[in-house]
Amino acid sequence: MRYKHEDYPNSTFMKRKSFLLLLPAFLVGTLTFTACENDNDPDLRDTLNIVSTLSGRDVLPPNASSATGRFEGQYNKTTRVLTYTITHQGVTPTYINLHRAVQGTNGPVEIPLSSSATSPVTGTLTLTPAQENDLIFSNYYVLIGSKTYPDGELRGTLQIDRATPTQ
C-alpha cells in the first residue's frame, strides 16, 4: 500500500510546502517596511543640502596648488532651483564652471557660473529634470581655473550632505 501526503497533514513535506509558500510574502513585507524607514534617502526630502570641498588634488590630472575652496548650496526639488555660494582662498579665478561627468573623469562645461575673482560667488540656477538627476547622483563638479592652472586649479564633486538636516 502506498501512502499519500494527504494522509499525514502534519508531515515534514506539508510543513516545508507551507513554509515555501509563505516565505515570498514575508520577504515582500519585510522589504516594503525596510524601504520606508530610510529617512536619509534624498528622495524623501524636498530640499537637499549640496556641498563640495574644492582642492587641487581633485583636478584631473592633480596639481600642487595650495588654494582651497568650498561649494555650499540648497536644492529645492519642487521648484528645481539650486541656490549656491562658492568661496575660495589662495586663487585668482579666471573662470568658475559647473561640469557634468561621473566621478573620476573629466566632462564638458554644463553651466558657466562666474568669471569673478572675488570670493564669495553666489547664484541661483533652475535645473531641468535631467540636470536634477545628475545633481542627485553626484555627476557634477565645480572647476575653478586660473592663469597658473588654466585647465583647472580647484575641483570638487557636488554631493548631497546627508549629515546636515535641511530647514
* Pairing relationship of beta strands 81-89 and 68-76 according to DSSP bridges: antiparallel
Residue 47 reports pLDDT greater than 80 = yes
Per-residue pLDDT band at 117 (split at 50, 70, 90): confident
How far is Cα of residue 55 from the mean position of the Cα atoms in its chain?
A: 19
Residue 9 reports pLDDT greater than 70 = no
Own/partner long-range contacts of 113-117 (Cβ < 8 Å, ≥24 apart): 113/86, 113/142, 114/86, 117/92, 117/93
Task: Report the C-alpha gap between 153 and 136 in whole angstroms.
Answer: 25
CATH topology for the 42-160 domain: Immunoglobulin-like (2.60.40)
Task: List where CATH 2.60.40 sits in the chain.
Answer: 42-160
Work out the average pLDDT over 33-49.
61
Residue 122 reports pLDDT greater than 90 = yes
Residue 32 reports pLDDT greater than 50 = no
Q: Rounded to 10 degrees, what is the CA torsion of 108, 149, 88, 61?
A: 60
Residue 38 reports pLDDT greater than 90 = no
Find all residues with CB under 8 Å of 127, minimum gap 6, and list them.
75, 80, 81, 82, 135
Find residue 157's DSSP bridge partners. Answer: 141
